[in-house]
């Protein structure tokens, strides 16, 4: 089933739960990035302990907002996320980005919390990006819903990353090389939205011949639904190149992925063969990934 992600990635209004007056806090950085990206819609900072910051009004809860926002960004401790998510459901909010870490990547207790996220999302039909993600950014239209480096150079590259750290490196690299991008989405633990959902959202843009090309780069520590993933790639690669970096060739990398986003690497040789069949390029290391991005751009 295809998800409608249009208002997630192109919202007219955004609420930031956990917005803060302290500039080092994730919620404060995210709020600042949304503003600096020249987002043209309404922005609602939400924090029950703050009235206003620099003439910007804060709201005590989502229920106190003057409208139902298209997108809610959550940057609060893990134990508080479920209550806010349920509030989103009761208010009819359908799109949420969860920056918060502390879920299945940290062990049994976090895994139970994440299962609850999945249950609430299913009950209220909420699209959730994350948890444990850096968010997303686009240059067309201009929006930066991340707590990372602001990137302003428009370009034709599209990225999906399961790692926020790699996405931050991409931001830095784009800045240092003056290379632009079109879309960058981080999926973290991908409890609800996975790489297939995002690729489907991009399909109408990627299945048409275009000049310049619209290359798609993916960093994935696991594949959500392998057959579906390959089927989508086969629709994209006749018109636009897809290049993928996926660790998992060694026992140490498998262990690292399990501790990072709760992922378990699949059979690597099967994955290689499937990518060849789909016409996608498998990168062997991070250097290959950056080199291909620059060459294809």
For position 150, what pLDDT does the model report?
67
For position 248, what pLDDT does the model report?
66
Distance, CA of 110 to CA of 103 (rounded, Å): 4
For position 270, what pLDDT does the model report?
84
Average pLDDT (31-50) is 94
Q: Is the confidence at residue 180, as pLDDT, over 90?
A: no
Q: Is the confidence at residue 208, as pLDDT, over 90?
A: no
Average pLDDT (250-279) is 66
Q: Which residue has the higher pLDDT, 265 or 100?
A: 100
Distance, CA of 281 to CA of 175 (rounded, Å): 25
Q: Which two tokens stand for residue 232?
A: 């989508």
Residue 19 — left, alpha, or beta (φ > 0 → left; ψ -120 to 50 → alpha)?
beta
Per-chain mean pLDDT for the chain: 90
Distance, CA of 206 to CA of 188 (rounded, Å): 23
pLDDT band at 151 (very low <50, low <70, confident <90, very high): low
* Terminal CA-CA length for the chain: 31
pLDDT band at 256 (very low <50, low <70, confident <90, very high): low
For position 177, what pLDDT does the model report?
84
Q: Which of 34-48, 142-156, 177-191 has the lowest mean pLDDT?
A: 142-156
Q: Crossing angle of helices 286-296/164-177, nearest 10°?
A: 50
pLDDT band at 174 (very low <50, low <70, confident <90, very high): confident
pLDDT band at 153 (very low <50, low <70, confident <90, very high): confident
H or E element in which residue 240 lies? none
Q: Are the C-beta atoms of 241 and 267 separated by less than 8 Å?
A: no
Q: What is the 3-state secondary structure (H, E, C) of 247-282?
A: CCCCHHHHHHHHHHHCCCCCCHHHHHHHHHHHCCEE
- Assessment of whether the complete model's pTM goes beyond 0.85: yes
Distance, CA of 280 to CA of 272 (rounded, Å): 9
Provide the percentage of residues in the chain whose pLDDT is more than 90. 70
Q: Crossing angle of helices 226-236/195-206, nearest 10°?
A: 20
Distance, CA of 129 to CA of 104 (rounded, Å): 15
């Amino acid at each position: 089933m295809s998800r409608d992600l249009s208002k997630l990635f192109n919202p007219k209004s955004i609420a930031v739960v956990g917005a803060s007056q302290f500039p080092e806090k994730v919620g404060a950085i995210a709020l600042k990035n949304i503003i600096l990206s020249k987002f043209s819609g309404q922005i609602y900072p939400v924090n029950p302990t703050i009235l206003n910051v620099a003439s910007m009004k804060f709201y005590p809860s989502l229920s106190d907002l003057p409208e139902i926002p298209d997108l809610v960004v959550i940057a609060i401790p893990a134990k508080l996320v479920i209550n806010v998510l349920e509030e989103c459901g009761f208010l009819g909010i359908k799109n949420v980005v969860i920056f918060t870490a502390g879920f299945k990547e940290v062990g049994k207790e976090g895994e139970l919390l994440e299962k609850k996220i999945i249950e609430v999302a299913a009950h209220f039909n909420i699209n959730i990006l994350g948890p444990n993600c850096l968010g997303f950014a686009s240059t067309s239209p201009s929006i930066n819903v991340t707590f990372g480096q602001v990137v302003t150079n428009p370009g034709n590259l599209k990225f999906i990353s399961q790692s926020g750290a790699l996405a931050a490196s991409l931001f830095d690299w784009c800045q240092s090389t003056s290379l632009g991008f079109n879309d960058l989405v981080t999926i973290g633990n991908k409890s609800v939205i996975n790489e297939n959902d995002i690729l489907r959202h991009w399909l109408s843009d990627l299945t048409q011949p275009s000049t310049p090309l619209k290359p798609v780069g993916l960093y994935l520590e696991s594949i959500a639904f392998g057959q579906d993933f390959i089927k989508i790639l086969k629709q994209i690669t006749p018109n636009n190149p897809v290049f993928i970096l996926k660790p998992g060739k060694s026992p140490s990398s498998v262990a690292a992925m399990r501790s990072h986003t709760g992922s378990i690497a699949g059979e690597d040789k099967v994955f290689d063969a499937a990518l060849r069949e789909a016409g996608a390029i498998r990168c062997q290391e991070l250097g290959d990934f950056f080199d291909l991005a620059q060459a294809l751009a």
